[in-house]
Structure formats: C-alpha cells, structure tokens
Amino acid sequence: MKYIHNTFLFFTTLLCLACSDDFLSLSPKDTLIEDEFFLNISDAEAALTGVYATLQKEEAFSNVRDAADIEWAISGDMYEMDGSANRIELHSLALPSTNTILRDVYSAAYQGISRANVVIAKVVGMEEGEEETKNQIIAQAKFIRALFYYRLVTYFGGVPLITEPLDANSDLQIPRATAEAVWQQIENDLNEAKDLLPTTWTGNDVGRVTSGACKALLNKAYLWQEKFDDVIAISESLFEEEVYTLLPDYRSIFMEENENNAEILFSTQFREGVDAEGNNLVKRTAPRGAPAEFTGGAAWSNFVPQQHWVDAHEKDGSGRIIDKRYWAAIIGPGERHQDMSAFMMPDNVPAGWSHSGYIMTKYWQKPTLNNSGVNAPVIRFAEILLNYAEALNERDRTEESIVQVNKVRDRAGLADLPLTLSKTETLDAIFKERRMEFIWEPTGGFSDLNRRGRFLDFIEAERPNFPSLNVNQKPWLQTQPILFPIPRDAWDRNKALEQNPHYTF
C-alpha cells in the first residue's frame, strides 16, 4: 500500500496540530482546526493517512524498537551491536522507568491512538460522503487504535483508556484502566471493524486494513487472554475467507517486489526514498564496513543473530542446518548473500561486521542509497496457524494441533512431527517453531514467551549470559505476566498514573 503520498501531508499537518508527539500535549486551537477540516471524504482520507503514518515511526511498528530492541534482544536471540545505554538497560533486564526506548514506544502508541480517535469522532459527524466509505475509514482507524492498545496492554498492563478526542479543556490527569477494560476495548474495536471492511483491496489501496487483518489481531488478543475457544473460532472464520496462505518460499514473503502478498495479513507500508516514508531496516541489517556496492549509503549491522540461535536449528547427520528458513534469511562465515551472489561473508568475519559472525538478510535484499522501501511485517499467516495450533492443543485436540504445526515445518523443509506427541511436547514444539520462524519480527520473542510464563525458563536454558542477569535480584521479573514500568516521562505529565509493582518513577 503505497498510498501515503506527500500530497496529503498538508492535511495531515492540520490534523496533527492536535496530536503532537508528546503524550496528551494539546493546542488551544485544535477543535477549531478539526471542525474546519473534516468536511468531505477527501479530508477524511487525508486524516486517515495521518493515522497510518504513525505506524511508520521507529518506536511504533517498524520492527526496530519493538521487534529488535524489545522482542528479540530481550529474549537474547539477537545481539545489539551498538551497546547504547538504553538498549543495555533492556537487554540486562534492568528496566528503569527512565528507559528512553520504553518511553518512546509508550508515547508513539498514544500519538497513534490520538489521531485515530479524532478520525473516528469527526468522520461519524460528517454530513457529506457515502456511509459505506465513511464506515470503512472509521473501521481502519479502529483497527489501528486496537493495534496500539494491544501493544500497550501487553507491555504495560492497564493504561489510560482514551477513546474520544481530547482538547485544551480536557482533564489530562487520567488514571489507568484495568487490563481487562483495555482488552475489552480492543475486542470491541476489532469486532466492529471486521464487519465493515472488505476481504481485499485493489490498486493503490492494497495494504490497507482488511477484515482478515481484524480477525488476525483478534486471534492474537484472544490468545493472550487464553480465550482458546475464541481463538479457534476466529481462526476458522479467517480460513473461510480463503484469502491468506503460506507462501511456498520463505524468503519471498519479505521481498520488496512481493510486498502485501498472500501471507501478509498486515504490514507497515514503506516506500524507498529520502522522505519519511522509508525505513532504516537495510541500514540496520547490512554489515558495517562491508563494500558500499552491496550495502548502499550506510550499513550499521545494529542487530545480528546470536550463535546459540543459529545452533538451535535442526541439522542433518553431518551437522549441516536443514531448516530452509536459515538459508533464506541468514548468512554466516563463508556464505553468499541470497540475492547478491557476489557478496560473500569472510571466513573470519570482522568483529565490526557482526559480533556473532552472522547477518540477517530478511530486510537487506539490495543496496539502497536512501531509506528502504521494504515493508515491516506485523502479522503473518504462519503466526495464525501456530496460534490456532496452540488453542487446539489447549482444548485437547492435540493431533489437530500438530497438523497445523507441520504446515509451517513443511515449508521449512523439516520432517513432520509425529501425531503421538503429548500436549506438553506439542506446546514446546509450537514455541520452537515461533523461535525459528519469526526472528526479527514483532512476534515469537519476549512477548509470546511472557504471555505463557515461559520467559525466565527460556532465558535460563538459552541465554549464555543468564548468570550475569541476576534474575533473582529483580523482583519485577517474578510477576506474571512481566510488565514494563510506566515511563517516568508519562507520569511527569499525568500524575494520576500508578506505577507497576516493583518499579519506581
């Protein structure tokens, strides 16, 4: 969906005078500006563009702050090469309320929610425009609002639940809602939105939120809450659409020329260029110091796969990795790039290129002089299959569960799991597939482990530096689920906020 064009930025700027980057920071002129702006469908579409644009921020859904800094570096399967203080705080599980990454994730979510609230409220009151078109605009904004609240509730627990636009006269001292209330709002938004949106879009609209995307996020929301019957029902409703499937080739899922394919239920849209519609995924992937003919304008190799994650892949009798996902997305010592065969990793990889000797190539597909146009996957069909499998297993339909897991394994070139596995063995197998399937995506890492209470056991077994983490001296890690601290910056603005257990502001 490359429909976020610069021609809309003038309108988006007007809208965003009421929606600055600071949490609940408002202008006294905001109401007047919005009332003068929302007059017709063109205005509403321009404002919706501003809602979609909030997903592109690195601290939103760009697979940088979320997928890399939080999900996969906290789980320990990826290594952050810069060693910046804010990242070390996360990866060492210190988790202070002053951490700037958590602050920015929290703030970005409320910016997206704020813009969505304005669109929902104002489009409802518009006199012009067909009802179906207005309803679809509102439904897309509700999905994005639900997506941001999903992030907030899974990271922070109950948070201020804001579903109406705020203005300069609003009381900004807003206490936290319960986690249950936030989950209910997510479900309400998605259930309302899914019935108003098409199963597919065409032309320049491809990449917008669909009914399937709403069902997929409901699938994730139900799974987090362990509403397993609802997971099964919404999954089967999604399957009935017959829109989404596993692609035969793992690498093709992520290729820029194949974006918005049949495996992608929702992704953040990017366009290569020097403007704000590109991302830094190529720069953050390609090895620093490698020839510019392969990397383009910059190469930072911020995030690299750890050796113990590589070692976890299934192998043949000679010790060679047989999992096709490795060969589709990783290169190590002496291995050639999948798309640029002239590039080969040295046998002795310089430490500046990669701490582990490995580079991930999911997003580094070619050199780029500007920002990359590779879309950032948010929800894939493979995740829906594994979520469905987990729910089936919890309802003692273990053989059916294993069939779903084997669909993911078949694509990876791996042998089918036997249908005789126990319920516990099947759950372990599901989490193993998440680990190998979703590296550097916003699922499969910390949050999935956390929701099932598996995180501490996992890092004890898998992170070589586990003894240095001093887990027993960090009481915030002993809660279920583990919550991040409410950022100090948010409390500075909203003294009604209460901190999560074991943290201070």
The pTM (predicted TM-score) of the whole model is: 0.94
- For residue 291, CA distances in Å to 25, 297, 337 come to 45, 10, 13
- Residue 458: its pLDDT value, please? 98
d(CA 270, CA 261): 15
Q: Tell me the Ramachandran region of residue 260: left when phi exceeds 0, alpha when psi lies from -120 to 50, beta otherwise.
A: left
pLDDT in tens, the chain (505 residues): 554 443 334 334 444 433 333 433 334 444 445 667 899 999 999 999 999 999 999 999 999 999 999 999 999 999 999 889 999 999 999 999 999 999 999 999 999 999 999 999 999 999 999 999 999 999 999 999 999 999 999 999 999 999 999 988 899 999 999 999 999 999 999 999 999 999 999 999 999 999 999 999 999 999 999 999 999 999 999 999 999 999 999 999 999 999 999 999 999 999 998 777 899 999 999 999 999 999 999 999 999 999 999 999 999 999 999 999 999 999 999 999 999 999 999 999 999 999 999 999 999 999 998 899 999 999 999 999 999 999 999 999 999 999 999 999 999 999 999 999 999 999 999 999 999 999 999 999 999 999 999 999 999 999 999 999 999 999 999 999 999 999 999 999 999 999 999 999 9
In the numeric block, the tokens 């990669």 are attached to 354
Three-state DSSP class for residue 197: coil
Report domain extents, the chain: 1-177+482-505
H-run or E-run covering 232: helix 228-241
d(CA 195, CA 100): 38
- Residue 284: its pLDDT value, please? 96
Non-local CB neighbours of 406 within 8 Å, separated by 6+ positions: 416, 417
* Rg over CA atoms, the chain: 22
Task: Tell me the pairing of strands 330-331 and 264-268.
Answer: unpaired
d(CA 382, CA 448): 14
Q: What is the Cα 417 distance to its own chain's centre?
A: 28
- For residue 7, CA distances in Å to 12, 45, 71, 430 come to 10, 12, 35, 45
Non-local CB neighbours of 182 within 8 Å, separated by 6+ positions: 149, 152, 153, 158, 159, 161
Q: Are the beta carbons of 376 and 327 closer than 8 angstroms?
A: no
- Listing DSSP states for 247-290 in one string gives -SSTGGGG-GGG-S-TTEEEEE----BSSTTSBSHHHHHSPTTS
HEC assignment per residue over 104-163: HHHHHHHHHHHHHHHHHHHHHCCCCCCHHHHHHHHHHHHHHHHHHHHHHHHHHCCCCCCC
- Residue 275: its pLDDT value, please? 76
HEC assignment per residue over 338-380: CCCCCCECCCCCCCCCCCCCCEECCCCCCCECCEECCCEEEEE
- Cα dihedral sign, 109-113-116-118: negative
Q: Are the beta carbons of 106 and 487 closer than 8 angstroms?
A: yes
The fold of the 1-177+482-505 domain, in CATH, is 1.25.40
